[in-house]
Amino acid sequence: MRFFFTFLLSLLFSLKSLFAQEVIVPNVTINDHNGISEIINIDCAYNFYNDQPNRIKLTANYSDIRVTNDYTVASIEYNPVVDFGAGSLIHIERKDGIRDDAFSSKIPLPFKFCFYGKEYSSIVISDNGVVSFNTLYANEENPYTISGSIPNSSLPIASIFGAYHDMQLVDENKASKDLVKIYVEGTAPYRKFIINYNEIPQFSSNKKSTSQIVLYETTNVIVIYVKNKDLNSTTSKERKALIGITNATGSNGIAAPGRNTGEWEAKNEAWRFLPSGSSSISVKWYDSYNKLIGSNPTLVVNPSVDTKYKVVVTYSLCTTVTKESEIEVKFLPDFPTANNVEMDQTAIPCLNEGETAEVDLTKFQKSINSRDDLKFVYYTSLSGAENAEEKYLIADPKHFQYNSDNTTVYVRVIKEKLCYTTSTIKLRINRKPKIQDNKTFNFCNTSSNSPLYINLISDVAHQLSGFSSSTMNIKFFNNQSDAASNKNEIVNLSKYPLSSSTTLYIRV
């Protein structure tokens, strides 16, 4: 007896676990190319992507949830969400007072639900196992005869059939079962709206049918559980039944295999109708500064210091849902880290055109990594630094010469032969401006009693060959000594008085 009890618990747990995989929800995780998630610890034994130093391939693993333009249907484990008797009673009656083959009044949904590309906020429920988003059916007749197979515009449109067959609602005030109820389970944005048909009598028969229709918030999945739907052998009218869904025109729909309109019976079965339309998912990657760095499911990064990466996945469904995940890269003490550095603004050489700058690259080592147990080797290309290529090696880093602005030097920072990282040094050059010298300007003063006022910017500076107001700053002085020492500049540039021949000095 003990053995049987243990086996039964295991079986129930197994069914629940399997079912949990049938209805997915928006989610995202990150792992690297080695399958590591959450924290990537980098040491000298870490396997970098494609054997390239500091190269890590990150993958965003997210649920593939589709929009509702179309659906697939599949058999799943039979595991109803709640008891078939759970929920609030729904009153079903036609406008003429008949309480058979009828739709209910309009029932508001607790969340927006998308169905065949349209968004709905309410439904109507019939006693014959039909749930429709077409609320024009409210308190109207739901024919007990099934007008053909899916797809078919003669069937109730924008509807779920679960299972549609001829049932007969009894007096809800007297019956303990024989009822249709609704129930809401869970919390937003993953609630479930449940319609329970609990032992509803089939027409003119002692057979009863029990089923459950579940609408899933956000994912728009539909699941139908059928506890029992026996074949009605006593009626001379409609014996057929149907499990499926159909769109707002009846032109498109899908039935469960073997459960399209026909004479069949079912026990303890479940069907999942899964949206299979186009993808509505966007992916965005961010670095530790929250800068956008990628928009594909995979991302190759090259960290050289401790950092973090974040992925944000947005599902544009009935309810827009955003999920994010973060992964951290940590360099362990034995692995050399390396900062990318730039030449300090005050150290940028100012040279004439054609002159070559010289810099001691070893002075940047403390900024790259201050450890004393590391070796620094300098190269003129990234591939040279990554592969230790001799042809790109800078043989004399203490006297490195360069003659172009924004020169990049690549540094291989080595702990051991195969344990290294790379970084960059950005070098700059400021070139002295070449401005036309000793230019003579002639101005005509028509008044002999007052000075001539000129604009030193528009009348003089803009007329000098080589001057650009967008990239250069210009100052005017009355003598060369002031111009050289940057003192006593002329401040009234827009209205400079000119009464006689004058020599001005400029500092650009």
What is the tens place of the pLDDT at every residue in 209-268?
Answer: 999 999 999 999 999 999 999 998 776 677 899 999 999 999 999 999 999 999 999 999
Please report which confidence band the pLDDT of residue 169 belongs to, taking 50, 70 and 90 as the band edges.
confident
pLDDT at 2: 34
How high is the pLDDT of residue 78?
97
CATH of the domain at 61: 2.60.40.10
Please report whether residue 80 resides in a domain: yes
Tokens read off for 332: 């362990």
In this structure, are 358 and 501 located in the same domain? no
Number of domains in the chain: 4
Same domain for 98 and 135: yes
Q: Is 290 helix (H, G, I), strand (E, B) or coil?
A: coil
Q: State the Cα–Cα distance between residues 95 and 315, nearest whole angstrom.
A: 41
Rounded to whole angstroms, the Cα distance separating 442 from 287 reads 59
Cα(384)–Cα(388) distance, rounded to whole angstroms?
A: 5
Q: How many CB atoms lie within 10 A of CB 438?
A: 5
pLDDT of residue 463: 86
The pLDDT score that the predictor gives to residue 405 is 87
Residue 274 lies in a domain: no
304 lies in the same domain as 234: no
Same domain, 423 and 293: no
119 and 81, same structural domain? yes
Q: Are residues 287 and 381 in the same domain?
A: no
Residue 189 covered by a domain: yes
Order across the sheet with 192-201: list the strands: 71-76, 266-275, 222-229, 208-216, 192-201, 179-185, 88-89
Residues 95 and 221 occupy one common structural domain? yes
Q: How far apart are CA 138 and CA 486, in angstroms?
A: 88
Give the pLDDT mean for 133-140.
Answer: 97
Give a yes or no: residue 11 inside a domain.
no
Do residues 423 and 339 make contact, with C-beta atoms less than 8 angstroms apart? yes
The verdict on 185 and 76 lying in the same domain is: yes
Residue ranges making up the domain that contains 382: 341-431
Is residue 5's pLDDT more than 70?
no
Confidence of residue 173 (pLDDT cuts 50, 70, 90): low
For residues 83 and 221, membership in a common domain is answered with: yes
- What is the per-residue pLDDT for 140? 97
- For residue 13, tell me if it sits in a domain: no
Section 445-469 average pLDDT: 84
Mean pLDDT in the chain?
89
Do the domain assignments include residue 267? no
pLDDT at 19: 39
Residues 75 and 220 grouped into a single domain: yes
> What pLDDT is recorded for position 10?
38
Burial 287-306 (b: 16+ CB within 10 A, else e): eeeeeeebeebebebebbbe
